Chain A
Amino acid sequence: MLAHAIFFYFFSILAIFSALMVITSRSTVNSVFFLILDFISVGCLFIMVGAEFLGMILLIVYVGAVAVLFLFVVMMLNVAQQKQSWFIGQKSTHIPSGLIVSVLIFLELLVVTGGWKYKKDVMSSSNLIIDTSITNTHSIGSVMYTDYVLYFQLSGIILLLSMVGAIILTYRKRENVKTQSYLKQISRDKSSAVSLKDVEFNKGVKIDD
Chain B
Amino acid sequence: MDNLITLFNEVYKILYLVIPILVSVAMIVWLDRRVWGLVQKRKGPNVVGPFGLFQTLADALKYIFKEIIIPAGANKTIFILAPIITMTLALVAWAVIPLSETMVLSDINVGILYLFAISSLGVYGIIMGGWASNSKYPFLGAIRSAAQMVSYEVSIGIIIINVLLCVGSLNLNDIVMAQKNLWYVIPLFPMFVVFFISALAETNRPPFDLPEAEAELVAGYQTEYSGMMYAMFWLGEYANILLMCAMGSILFLGGWLPPIDIYPINLVPAPFWMIFKILFLFILFAIIKAIVPRYRYDQLMRLGWKVFLPLSLIYVVLTASFLLYFDKLPKGAF
Q: Nearest residue in A to B143 (C-beta to C-beta)?
A: A72
Number of interface residues of B (CB under 8 A): 26
Docked pose: A70 CA to B29 CA in angstroms: 34
Interface size class of A (residues with CB under 8 A): 20 to 34
Given the interface pairs A3-B3, A60-B113, A65-B153, the reply to whether A137 lies near B121 with Cβ below 8 Å is no
Q: Is A29's beta carbon under 8 Å from chain B?
A: yes
The answer to the question of A2 belonging to the interface, with a C-beta cut-off of 8 Å to chain B, is: yes
A134-B333 in contact (CB<8A): yes
Q: Which residues of B contact A60 (CB under 8 A)?
A: 113, 116-117, 120, 157
In the bound assembly, the distance between CA atoms of A183 and B334 in angstroms comes to: 48
Overall SS of chain B's interface? helix
A30 → B minimal CB distance (Å): 8
Interface membership of B150, Cβ < 8 A: yes
Whether A56 pairs with B153 at a CB distance below 8 angstroms is no
Nearest Cβ distance between residue B49 and chain A, in whole angstroms? 40
Closest to B132 in A: A29
B318 at the interface (CB under 8 A from A): no
Could you tell me if B124 and A36 are in contact, using CB atoms closer than 8 angstroms? yes
B113 A53 Cβ-Cβ under 8 A:
yes
Binary CB contact string for chain B from 94 to 136 against chain A (1 if under 8 A, 0 otherwise): 0000000000000011100110110011011001100100000
Q: Quick one: which of B113, B114, B170, B333 contacts A133, CB cutoff 8 A?
A: B333
Q: What is the distance, in angstroms, from B135's C-beta to the closest C-beta of chain A?
A: 12
* A57 partner residues in chain B, CB cutoff 8 A: 113
User: Is B93 part of the contact surface with A, judged by Cβ < 8 Å?
Assistant: no
Q: Measured between alpha carbons, how far is A167 from B168 in the docked complex, in Å?
A: 35
Complex CA gap A29/B131 in Å reads 10
- Known contacts A133-B333, A135-B334, A138-B333: does B110 contact A63 (CB below 8 Å)? no
| B109, A137: Cβ atoms closer than 8 Å | yes
Considering the chains assembled together, what is the distance between the CA atoms of A83 and B75 in angstroms? 16
Query: Number of contacts between A and B (CB, 8 Å)?
Result: 67
CB distance from B230 to the nearest CB of A (A): 22
Interface pair B150/A65, CB less than 8 Å apart: yes
Contact B150 A68 (CB under 8 A): yes
Q: Hey, which chain A residues are within 8 Å of B124, CB to CB?
A: 36, 68
Residues of B within 8 A of A72 (CB): 127, 143, 146
8 A Cβ contacts from B218-259 to A: none
Scoring A residues 1 to 39 as 1 if CB is less than 8 Å from chain B, else 0, what string do you get? 011000000000000000000000000010001001000
- Determine if A52 and B120 form an interchain contact, defined as CB atoms under 8 angstroms apart: no
CA distance A170 to B50 in the complex (A): 59
**Does the CB pair A52–B110 fall under 8 Å?**
yes
Cα–Cα distance between A154 and B75 once the two chains are bound (Å): 44
Q: A29–B127 Cα gap in the complex (Å)?
A: 11
B110 neighbours in A (Cβ, 8 Å) = 52-53, 56, 135, 137
CB distance from B316 to the nearest CB of A (A): 15
Give Cα A53 to B116, complex, Å. Answer: 12
CB distance from A75 to the nearest CB of B (A): 5
B302 CB, min distance to chain A CBs, angstroms: 8
Complex Cα spacing A93 to B110, Å: 47
A63, B127: Cα distance in complex, Å: 13
CA distance A120 to B4 in the complex (A): 35
Complex: A135 Cα to B110 Cα, angstroms: 9
| Chain A CB within 8 A of B78 CB | yes
A64/B120 contact (C-beta < 8 A), A3-B3, A75-B131, A137-B170 known: yes
> Which listed residue (B75, B123, B170) contacts A68, Cβ 8 A?
B123
Q: Which B-chain residue is minimally distant from A133 (CB atoms)?
A: B333
State in angstroms the CA–CA spacing of A60 and B110 once bound together.
12
Shortest Cβ distance from A67 into chain B, in angstroms? 9
Smallest Cβ distance from B226 to chain A, in angstroms? 23
Tell me whether A68 and B3 are in contact in the complex, defined as CB-CB below 8 angstroms, given that A33-B78, A57-B113 are known contacts.
no
A133 to chain B minimum Cβ distance, whole angstroms, is: 7
Which of B's residues lie within 8 Å of A, judged by CB?
Answer: 3, 75, 78, 108-110, 113-114, 116-117, 120-121, 123-124, 127-128, 131, 139, 143, 146, 150, 153, 157, 170, 333-334
Q: List 10 A-B contacts (CB under 8 A).
A: A29-B75, A52-B110, A52-B113, A57-B113, A60-B113, A60-B116, A135-B109, A135-B170, A135-B333, A137-B170
**Top 10 A-B pairs, shortest CB-CB distance:** A64-B120, A56-B113, A59-B117, A134-B333, A135-B109, A60-B117, A52-B110, A56-B110, A56-B117, A138-B333
* 5 additional contacts (CB under 8 A) given A60-B113, A135-B170: A33-B78, A56-B113, A60-B120, A64-B120, A71-B146
